Structure formats: structure tokens, C-alpha cells
Structure 1
């Protein structure tokens, strides 16, 4: 059973006279990994806080299990929050508690489980994120990456249906970011929960999620399956996902119109779309990610509505994936060049060194 669907409709948030974003409309598909992008200061973290009811939007709705979080009473909101697990940017661990007690905290606070039951759950989650054996270390004694993994273990202890990640790769080197990205997808394969990741890392955005959304100029520029966003001809989306200087986004978010037009003319001289980067797969021995088939079916159903260049790039990408999987099955090789190894139910331990349906364009959402 996949995680819960989250339906956001016409959401607007301001602080005083400062509008953060308006009329944000999207649906997080159940059990899939979604990423929210946008230039700095566009309110991505504010959006996460609104989803869990820490901030109250002025307009719109957030519907989970037929309940609107924006309008429900405090008692119902408290219960719905138990559906969420949250990984904060720095892990947000209690500095005076060891890792075991940090991870056990939600169980002691929100359940009536015995200490023996709590121990079983905590040790299981620590093993899942590669921290077995580090139970009695304090947050100040471990690396930033290990703190993030401890924060992730804490986010998992209540077996949430929705997990939010607020810039999980911030402060990490590329190698540890790659480990963390693999861990996120392996966890999704195991739990089939609904994930939403806020990130600035372009490689993460290109290779991890099933769906991509982007906030720009106080609105949701676009939200949809990864293949559609990665082949989009929308100037803002294309500029951001390709990490280009040329385009509407400038140092102060919006460029001078004439300059943006000159730069877009330079881009127009280029022909074709770059090949789509393949999505990271779950590690060998993990359950198959059911989200992939669900997303690809949506993309195939809407393929005829996309520009010809996008259709060609997406069809080529699907064909290459099918060929790679068929070849792996024939020769016994793992996809993307991973060596064969004995199947295991555990996620490989991360080193202890420093951790190291149409496209939704903000107006209509897909159910």
C-alpha cells in the first residue's frame, strides 16, 4: 500500500505585507519521491512548514485523508502530524542526548511502547541508516553527515506515511551526497512512503525524484513527472535544471528583460535536448520501487501532449532503460555498473567518515 496522497490547492502565504508565494496547486502522488526546487529565498522551507501545520496559510487547502490541515481543529492537526517524518537541514538533534535517546524521543513522546519495544525499533532504524554501533555517541562527537542520518532515523521511528527532507544535502561533499541520495531511494523502496525533498543540488534533482516542482517569482512555475520537467522548454525550468547562467533567473532572481531576451536568443541557437540522466535505482537486494512503474505509466499516458523533441527524448530514455534492464537480466549484471553481490535485506553501511494526467503548471493538478 503506497504512502498517502497530499493535495495542495490554491495555497498562499505571506508574512505581513511580504507575499512569499500565491496560488500554489499540486498533488504529491502517493508513494513517490518528489523534489521542490527554486532560487534561494522563494519560500521552499516555508512550504514544508505549511504542509505540517507549523505555519498557517492565508488561503487554500492541504488535504490528507480527506481532511484539510488548514481548517481542521488542533486535536485533528496533532493526529495528522503523526503521519509525517521530517529531516531538518542540520538534523536538529538534542545536543545533550546520545543518538539512541534522540531517535527514541518521538516514541517516548507519542506512544506508550515499553522500553524493550522502543529499543527494537530504534536499533532497526539505526541499522537502516548505517548507524548501528553508534548509539551512545553525542551529536557533537560525530560528523555532519552522521547527524543527518541520525535525524533521518528519528524521522522514521513512527513509520510515517509522508517524509519531508529540508535540504538534506546541504553541507555535504558530492560523495556523501551520493550516499545520502542512494539511502533515500532505498528507504522509499522499503517503505513506499510519500517523500518530498527541498534541495538546490541539480544532480539530486536530475537523478533522484519521480516528480519535480519549481517555485519562482512567488508562484509554482511547474510540477510534474521528472521526464517532463527535464525536457521542458519553459525558460525558467530549463535554466535552473541545467544550471545555466543564460535565462530569466539572475543574481537578484529576476533579470533585466532585455538581457534575458539576449541570453535566450543564445540558447535558441542550440539544437536538440541533452540526454536524460537515468534515475538512480534502489540498491541490489532492495524491493523494487513501485513508484517507478506508476510514474512511467502517467508519462506514457500524457506523452502525446508534449512537444516532439520532448517526446523523442523521453522515448529514447525509456528504451535505454528497458535495454539496460534486459541486458542486466541476461548477463546477471546490476544496472548502472554496480557489481553483483549476494542479495541482502540491509542497506549497505555508509562510511563513518564525514557523511558523508498533464503537467501541473501551478493551476491544475493531477490526481
Structure 2
């Protein structure tokens, strides 16, 4: 099962530019989470802090009992073995074949023989639907295939945590749907902790167990999908609904005069769309039961209308899901 990540009071700046501050959240072990936010809100910076590529000015990131922000280089090197990272553009080496790109972490970080590497690479490439494409160069395959090759490379060391930086960027809706299903299927099979950074609303509504949003240098909210998708927080509701009316403007925050002139606008309680399920033949995701148990404990704290909406989805949950 994946590893839980606890983030406490994180703050990051570049010179005098404050990216975000006082970010605190828990990525539950073995669950799919999505971090949303308008462009330029520091979502990718957050991922790089989690894996130790950037160091925040304040706060803690606890992974497997170790603070990523204060550990030694040797401890950080060992911690990184828990992570698999899918970078935004796939980050493949253009002069290497797809096979050699996927095999690269095994050759760098293990003492496996080439025969063992071939078996692992073949297994991961088949898992992401790239069997038979290993001889091609990155320039010879589509953007969607490059993303899947990057994902195969992120999986070869059997990570317990998978970080995906805008995996849908540059992909058409069909390829995005395939990639979303692939991540759900992966979680069903290996129960890894997965965090996806995106601004794709369809992905945010259908894929994760947990959802959060960065806006104006702070974390607006983070929690189970049932809570965030029915949130009445204006920023969250506007972003998830794709509305023009609300606090978010073309640049970032609207001028107070403009926002006041818009006045109150009707925001019907959002409908909870169904979550993606694993492909036929795969096990029920154990993360679903764990998340729903947390949500049941939170029900009494929700507004009445939201409580009824959320409770209905819990009552319709699949029976027989195992922990």
C-alpha cells in the first residue's frame, strides 16, 4: 500500500515573490488526490517540494516518518525511491528509444541484469499500453504515447507514491480519458498514493478520492471529493463550474468594484458526478471504502442540502468493497 504524506504550514517564495504560504494537508495512503488551481498558482512548485527538488522556506513534509525539508542528502536520496514522477511533458530523452527511456531508472539505481530489466520494462510498457513501441524514438510517437512512456518510466522502481504534473496537458479529450482510466486502474492494482496536479475540470470531477485547490497564495480547501465537489466556497464553486461570475478574473482576482457590480448570482448545489471505476476484471479500489468512512464521520458538520446530496452517494456505494 502507498505511503501517507503529511504537509504542515508549508511556505515557498522565489526572491520577493511569495508563491503560497501556510499550506497544510494530508495525502491519504493508497488514495488518488487531485490538486487544482488557475495557471501560475504554484501547483508544479508544490510537487517539486514534495519530492525534495525544491526546499520551502517554512513548514514540514513528512513522508514515511522523515521530514523531506530537513533530512540529510542521503535520507532524501532514499526517500526519492518511494516516488515515481510523471513530468508535464513526459521528460523523455530524445536520443534514446522508448525502451531505453523506461529502463533508465533501473540501470541508474539498481543492479539488475539486462535480462531482469527487459522483464520489468516489458511489464510496465504493457501496463500502460505501449507493448511493441519500445524501439521507437520519442519524436516518432504521439504526445499521448510520450505521456504513457513517461508513466511507465515512473513505475519501473515500483514506487509507493506517484506524482503526476498535468498529465492531461496537450492531450485531446479522448486521450485524457484514457490516461485518467489508466491512473484509476493503476491504483486498483497497486494501491499506490497518487497525486495529480491539473486544471482539467473533467479529471477533477471524475478521478480523485480527494480534491484540493490553490488560489492566491493559499490552499482554499482539501478533502474528500464529496465535500469539495459540493463546496459553496465561491472560488471553488466558480472554478469547478467553469463560471465567469465569481472572484476569479482574467488575470487573477477581480477588482472589488467589478465583483460587487456582478452582485449575487445563482449557484445551484452541484451534482456529484460518478467517480471513474476500474476497468472490468480489476479489483474494487480499497481507497473508496477508506474515503467513504471518513466522509460519513464528516456528514454531521455539513449544511443540510449538502448532507442529503452526499449521503445519497454513500448509500449508493458499491457493496462488498474491502478495506
TM-score by length of 2: 0.97
Alignment of 1:1-367 (within 5 A): 2-263=1-262, 265-267=264-266, 270=267, 272-322=268-318
Q: CA deviation at 1:280?
A: 0.3
By relative contact order (CA 8 Å, sep 6+), the higher-ranking structure is 1
Please tell me the root mean square deviation across aligned C-alpha atoms, in Å. 1.2
Aligned residues: 320
Distance between the aligned counterparts of 2:167 and 2:271, measured in 1? 26
What whole-Å deviation, never above 9, does each CA across 1:114-158 have from its counterpart, x for those lacking one?
Answer: 111111100000000000011101101000000000000000000
| 1:335 matched residue in structure 2 | none
Distance between the aligned counterparts of 2:244 and 2:312, measured in 1? 28
Is 1:107–1:158's contact at 8 Å kept on the other side of the alignment? yes
Q: Which runs of 4+ in 1 moved over 3 A?
A: 261-264, 319-322
CA 1:232–1:262: 2 relative to 1, 3 Å:
farther
Distance between the aligned counterparts of 1:261 and 1:249, measured in 2? 13
Q: Which runs of 5+ in 2 are unaligned?
A: none
SS of residue matched to 1:254: coil
Distance between the aligned counterparts of 2:75 and 2:265, measured in 1? 53
Q: CA deviation at 1:262?
A: 4.1
Is 1:35–1:205's contact at 8 Å kept on the other side of the alignment? yes
Distance between the aligned counterparts of 1:264 and 1:171, measured in 2? 36
Q: CA deviation at 1:312?
A: 1.1
| 1:339 matched residue in structure 2 | none
Distance between the aligned counterparts of 2:200 and 2:140, measured in 1? 27
Q: CA deviation at 1:106?
A: 0.1
Is 2:35–2:211's contact at 8 Å kept on the other side of the alignment? yes
SS of residue matched to 2:264: helix
What whole-Å deviation, never above 9, does each CA across 1:227-266 have from its counterpart, x for those lacking one?
Answer: 0001111101111111111110111110012322343502
Q: Which moved more, 1:251-260 or 1:143-152?
A: 251-260
Distance between the aligned counterparts of 2:314 and 2:4, measured in 1? 26
TM-score by length of 1: 0.85
